[in-house]
Amino acid sequence: MSGDGAEGEIAGLKLIADETRWRILRALRPSDRQVGELVALTGLPQNLVSYHLGVLRQAGIVQLHRSDADGRATYYGISLGELGGIYRQIGADLAIPAPFAPSELPARTVVFLCRANSARSQMAEGWLRALTGGRVTVRSGGTRPTQLHPLANQVMAEVGVDIGHQQAKLIDTLTDLAPDMVVTVCDIAREECPLWPDVGARMHWSIPDPVAVAGAEERLTAFRAVRDSLRERVDGLIALLRSPG
C-alpha cells in the first residue's frame, strides 16, 4: 500500500470500501479460496471477481499461492498484516483502545491439519496455545503423519514458544474432540481430509511447505517465514473466536 500516515490509511479505506471488494474480502476472511469458490459465495461474475482480486493484490491486501496439491489451482488469501496495519493506524489516530485478555475468550476447540503433521500444523498449534494462554483447546494431526521437524521446534523456540512436547499424530486419533473449528494448513491435506462430523467450521490456509525447500539456509529461512505467517494467521483466528457470531 502506497502512502504513509493519514494518506495511506485513507487510501486503504477507499480501496476496501468498494462494495464488490468488501464482499470478496468478507468471503476470504475465514478461509483461503479459489476463484470459483469466490464466484459461488459472492454470486458475482468471474471476470468481475478476477478484476477486483487483481486490484486487491496490487495493493498487497490479497495474496495468492499456487496449490501444492494441483499446480493448476491458485488460492487467494487476505494479507492480515496489511489490513491490520490500516486498522492499527486508524485506531492510533483516533485513540481507539483494543484491549484483549485470554480470559475473555469463550472456551473453544480447534484442530489444525496438514499432511505430515511435522511443521505447519505443529507451529499453528503452538501459536494458538501460547497466544490464548491455553484457554483454547488445540490439537494438530496429519493425514500421513511422520514426526515433529526439528526446524519447526527450533524456529518456534526462537520466539519463545516451546513445541518440543508436541507429537505428530494421525487425524483418526482426534475424532473424539468434536472441534469448533478445523483448519487445514496445506493444500494436500485439504484434498485428503475426510469430512469431519459435527464440526462447527472448516477453514483452509494455503501455506507453502518449508520442508520442501532445498538448501539448509534456504530451508531455515522458509521455516521462519512460515512461522511468522502462521503467527499472523493465528492472530486473525483469535479475532474470529472473539467475535460473537
Look up the CATH number of the domain holding residue 82.
Answer: 1.10.10.10
Domain count, the chain: 2
Rounded to the nearest 10 degrees, what angle do helices 80-93 and 5-17 cross at? 120
Starting from the edge strand earliest in sequence, which strands make up the sheet with 201-204, in order? Answer: 137-142, 109-114, 181-184, 201-204
| Catalytic entry in 80, 113, 119, 186 | 186
SS3 for 96? Answer: coil
The pTM (predicted TM-score) of the whole model is 0.80
SS3 for 221? Answer: helix
My answer on whether 107 and 220 are in the same domain is: yes
Last residue of a domain, one of 93, 122, 153: 93
| Catalytic entry in 25, 86, 114, 211 | 114
My answer on whether 206 and 229 are in the same domain is: yes
Catalytic site includes residue 73: no
Distance of CA 43 to the CA centre of its chain: 24
Structure confidence by residue, pLDDT tens digits, 125-178 = 999 999 999 889 999 999 999 999 999 999 999 999 999 999 999 998 987 888
Q: What is the pLDDT of residue 127?
A: 98
My answer on whether 160 and 227 are in the same domain is: yes
CA–CA separation, 193 vs 149, rounded Å? 21
Of 29, 112, 9, 44, the closest CA to residue 78 belongs to 29
Catalytic site includes residue 171: no
My answer on whether 55 and 143 are in the same domain is: no
My answer on whether 112 and 217 are in the same domain is: yes
| Catalytic entry in 49, 53, 182, 193 | 193
In Å, what is the CA distance from 160 to each residue of 17, 131, 156, 164?
38, 11, 7, 12
Distance of CA 135 to the CA centre of its chain: 19
Last residue of a domain, one of 93, 110, 135: 93
My answer on whether 131 and 228 are in the same domain is: yes
* C-beta of residue 110 within 8 angstroms of C-beta of residue 181: yes
CA–CA separation, 166 vs 148, rounded Å? 7
Q: Which residues pair with 110 in a beta bridge?
A: 138, 181
Catalytic site includes residue 93: no
Structural domain including 18 reads 5-93
Look up the CATH number of the domain holding residue 219.
Answer: 3.40.50.2300
Last residue of a domain, one of 70, 93, 116: 93
Q: What is the DSSP letter of 159?
A: T
Structure confidence by residue, pLDDT tens digits, 78-126 = 998 888 887 777 777 766 656 566 667 888 999 999 999 999 999 999 9
CA–CA separation, 128 vs 100, rounded Å? 15
Write out the three cell numbers for 95.
485513540
